[in-house]
Structure 1
Amino acid sequence: MPNNILTSPLRYPGSKSSLTDYIAAIIEENLLSGCTIYEPYAGSAVVSLEMLQRGYAQNAVLVERDPLVYAFWRAVFSCGEELCEKIKELEVTIETWDQFQRFRAIDDPAGHSILELGLAGLFYNRTNFSGIIGAGPIGGYSQSSNYRIDCRFNKARIIQQIRDLQHLKNRVSVIFSDALEFMKKYEEEIENGFSFVYIDPPYYTQGKRLYRYYYDDYDHQRLAEYILSKQFPWLLSYDDHPVIRKLYARAPLQPIYVDYSAKTSRRGNELLISNLVIPPLSLDSPKCEIEAC
């Protein structure tokens, strides 16, 4: 797939699409090409999907705690064409935004239609401010802004992206679970397999604002204590904060500069942390661009 076409149909706060070249280089440098890539905080899943597309990973395991995001990925890889038909018929309006509110109240997808939940997850991701499922609609409820609720909902492009992913459906597993609980449960399988684990947890500073299932200090500490004790290959990305630097003080850290959007002034520093050899970034620091509205 050409690099100028985004693999993932989802918009996501902190999307790591700009880091895929660097992560591919880490996989190659550490002789992990052809591995199974685990992404315990799937979100946009762009890293796993890009590694599959480029041949650096043979299989991917996507783990997601948000039931709407989980259901979207399940729908993509289990009933992708049906999902595309639903998208074609979907009215991208404030009225639909209201009607889908009942799906945002669901905490567990069990007993619910994956297709309906997945459609709602995509809808809110593409119609809410910055792709935040728990946020309000682009343009506000009154729709008086220059940007309207459908400004990021290009049906033709989204449908094409979903169809482009269908050739991967036998190589992708999608699991509904808490990330840390998943890694503990499948630790033996991960350790004994040809594995690479990419960990992108909720941001330390802005997590509560950006994600419906965010972490508090105790959660961040639990993750650090667990992953630092593991021998399987892992790479972790975080916002650069003194607390995070302290938690991972004994692991190699690689600071990166991130420009979150070419259309806003939001900028920040992040960290890459790993138990692998991670080379320095090139002089041209990666920039993660997130759509402004």
Structure 2
Amino acid sequence: MPKIESPFRYPGGKTQFYDFVFSLIQLNHPVKTYIEPFAGGAGIPLKLIKNNVVDNIWINDFDPSIYSVWYHILNSPKLLISKLIELPFSYKNRIDDTELLINFWRKQKEIYLKEKNNPVSFDGAFATLFLNRTNRSGIISGGPIGGYHQTSNTKLYDRLNIDALVKKIKFISSNKNRINLTNIDAIELIKEIRRSTDKDNSFIFFDPPYYYQGKNLYFSSLDHHGHEKLAKNIIELSDYKWILTYDNAKPILDFYNTVQQKYLYSLNYTANNKNRGKKEELFFSSPKVNLEFSENKYNFIKI
């Protein structure tokens, strides 16, 4: 299992794509700024700055609740760490009190629902992070790990490793001056990228919500028109170095039919126990990106 720098658990997270992204950055030198318009757990950008592969990263998430976690990791790390340490249970501090566990979980769910549209709410940020660590597959809208009666072998706190979370928060906050954090729509972000970023020294990884399952997994999902509009704007960034991943959906292939560099590839996916294993997805890149599949462990197939 690769070491993950992100405090989040994310369904379909692309951290396992790190080696490939790293090789692309080396191949498409120079890259000083790495950008993720749909950052989510931001596993790749965090690892890139930890390994000093790039000078700085730009992480954007349109979901106010996810953004709030990043905001307080960067601006209130001590307060967030203190709140985590005060939790009455964790992976190390295991308790056998279903009522306490589920009541605490329900309280955080209630806070999340109240604060989820407030991008700077500290209580909302904590509730979001807590639910991400204690919900099945990290899906905020899902139910608790182990179920409401905690009768399974897995328990609510099995992914709540406080020591690991504290280390991650300290690392991220210590690199605040290398992280640009925003909470804007992807279309607006593309405009901002054009205004403020050197196209020759930047690299963008677009990983939008899935076309088919996005609405079930993410707050900031897109409808058919939204995916189409996004495609138009991404394609127009032909003078920038960007890559794009999507679920294998015919409408997406139609939207990006003019993109020359397009492939099918396989990636592990764990958001649903019934569907664990390899999933075939789509990969696109701008004409500015040099591609090389020397090992091809993701089974890239040109389409």
The alignment's TM-score, normalised by the length of structure 2, stands at 0.85
* 2:130 match: secondary structure: helix
CA contact (8 A) 2:186 2:230 kept: no
Matching of residue 248 in structure 1 with residue 290 in structure 2? no
Matching of residue 233 in structure 1 with residue 231 in structure 2? no
Match of residue 32 from structure 1? 30
Give the partner amino acid of 1:270: E
Larger radius of gyration between Structure 1 and Structure 2: 2
Q: For 1:110-259, what aligned pairs fall within 5 Å after superposition?
A: 112-113=120-121, 115-191=122-198, 194-230=201-237, 231-251=239-259, 252-259=261-268
CA distance in 1, matches of 2:118, 2:241: 31
Match of residue 291 from structure 1? none
- CA-CA distance at 1:45 after TM superposition: 0.5
Count of paired positions: 281
Q: For 1:87-126, what aligned pairs fall within 5 Å after superposition?
A: 87-91=84-88, 93-100=101-108, 101-109=110-118, 112-113=120-121, 115-126=122-133
Match of residue 93 from structure 2? none
* 1:57 match: secondary structure: coil
* 2:240 match: secondary structure: coil
Which of 3-12 and 224-233 deviates more?
3-12
Which of 173-182 and 117-126 deviates more?
173-182
- CA-CA distance at 1:281 after TM superposition: 5.8
CA distance in 2, matches of 1:282, 1:264: 29
CA distance in 2, matches of 1:193, 1:162: 31
Give the partner amino acid of 1:109: N
Residues 182-239 of structure 1, C-alpha deviations (whole Å, 9 max, x = no match): 2224422135673211111001121111112211111110110011011221111111
Unmatched runs of 5 consecutive residues or more in structure 2: 90-100
Unmatched runs of 5 consecutive residues or more in structure 1: 287-293
Instruction: Give me the CA root mean square deviation.
Output: 2.2
The alignment's TM-score, normalised by the length of structure 1, stands at 0.88
CA distance in 1, matches of 2:228, 2:160: 37
CA distance in 1, matches of 2:294, 2:74: 34
Match of residue 96 from structure 2? none
- CA-CA distance at 1:107 after TM superposition: 4.7
* 1:166 match: secondary structure: helix
Give the percent of matched residue pairs that are identical in Structure 1 and Structure 2.
31
- CA-CA distance at 1:264 after TM superposition: 5.8
